[in-house]
Amino acid sequence: MPIDTQLTVNQAQQIAKLQTQFNQGLDADWPMAPTLARDDFAAVIVELGERYDHLGYKWWKKQQADHEQANMELIDVLHFAVSDVIEVLVQDGSASPVETAALKLAEASIRANADEALDAKWLLRHTALEGRPDLGRPLCFGNESLTQLFNMLYQAYGSAEAVYVSYVGKNALNHVRQQRGYKDGSYIKMWHDEEDNQVMMRLLLGNNDILKSNTPLDEAIALLTNYYDDHIA
Ligand SMILES: O=c1ccn([C@H]2C[C@H](O)[C@@H](COP(=O)(O)O)O2)c(=O)[nH]1
């Protein structure tokens, strides 16, 4: 049964905006005149590799699949995919790349369907078909690749709403990591016996107000920072 689900326009706009804000925390001039060298597609490839690892792809070794962590890698891919879309729009001369990227996200989320989710290799194939060698980008998130990514996200999370909460949560966690020393290595990634990702999902899923809020990021960051300071650091 196809799942009838899609991002609201407001959710798509939030994702494009939150991604821009996070990237600008690392490089204030991104995306118009970046000063920090970044390679979003290298990151996409590595995140998909991590996904295969969590799925236990090694047929020559006994492994335990961790589907929750594998799904979270798709949320990481979404971060870098949105960044890629915005960068291509800038290179193509768009005057409003963040707003246009939000529109592309909303449209892909309408076209997508969990039943059509395929293995990540097919996603990569589409990014190659939609590549822009003219921009020095052999792989790119065009409209079809974005749809394929949403197919996979819907299969992983069951609804656009769950994808949205997971995105906001991971984006917030990325901020908390930066604020608590991820760059200098002092951040503690294991929260007791679990990865911070997993604790984050539990904390946010237990807090319905964040989804409805107009400032979901601020609320998610506050929740996670308090937890980190009270229980971990
Ligand atoms: O410029 C960047 C750099 C990192 N991330 C986010 C995306 C992923 O959610 C997360 C990956 O971090 P690791 O867990 O792989 O360190 O960082 C961005 O959104 N933009």
ipTM of the prediction:
0.98
The helix/strand/coil state of 16 is helix
> Which domain range does residue 203 map to?
160-233
Check whether residue 143 and residue 165 sit in a common domain: no
Looking at the 3D structure of the chain, how many domains does it have? 2
Using one digit for the tens of pLDDT, what is the confidence trace for 72-111? 999 999 999 999 999 999 999 999 999 999 999 999 999 9
Check whether residue 112 and residue 219 sit in a common domain: no
Residue nearest atom 9 in ligand 1 by C-alpha distance: 76
Mean pLDDT by 10 residues, the chain (233 residues): 79 96 97 97 98 98 96 98 98 97 98 98 98 98 98 97 94 96 95 94 85 85 96 95
Check whether residue 77 and residue 5 sit in a common domain: yes
What's the CA-to-centroid distance between 46 and ligand 1, angstroms? 11
> Does residue 30 contact residue 24 with C-beta atoms inside 8 Å?
yes
The rounded distance, in Å, linking the Cα atoms of 149 and 108 is 9
Any idea how long the chain is? Answer: 233
Residue nearest atom 8 in ligand 1 by C-alpha distance: 76
Boundary-marking domain end, from 100, 125, 158: 158
Q: Which residues line ligand 1 (CB under 6 A)?
A: 22-23, 26, 38, 76, 79, 170, 174
How many CA atoms does the CB half-sphere of 231 hold within 13 Å?
Answer: 16
Check whether residue 153 and residue 42 sit in a common domain: yes
The rounded distance, in Å, linking the Cα atoms of 49 and 152 is 15
Check whether residue 193 and residue 146 sit in a common domain: no
How much is the pLDDT for 212? 74
- Residue of 22, 178, 184, 196 to mutate, ligand 1, most atoms within 8 A of C-beta: 22
Boundary-marking domain end, from 141, 158, 175: 158
Check whether residue 29 and residue 134 sit in a common domain: yes
Check whether residue 172 and residue 153 sit in a common domain: no
How much is the pLDDT for 207? 84
Using one digit for the tens of pLDDT, what is the confidence trace for 43-55? 999 999 999 999 9
Check whether residue 201 and residue 96 sit in a common domain: no
- pTM comes to 0.95
How much is the pLDDT for 1? 46
Which domain CATH number covers 56? 1.10.4010.10
Check whether residue 137 and residue 186 sit in a common domain: no
Boundary-marking domain end, from 138, 158, 178: 158
How much is the pLDDT for 172? 96
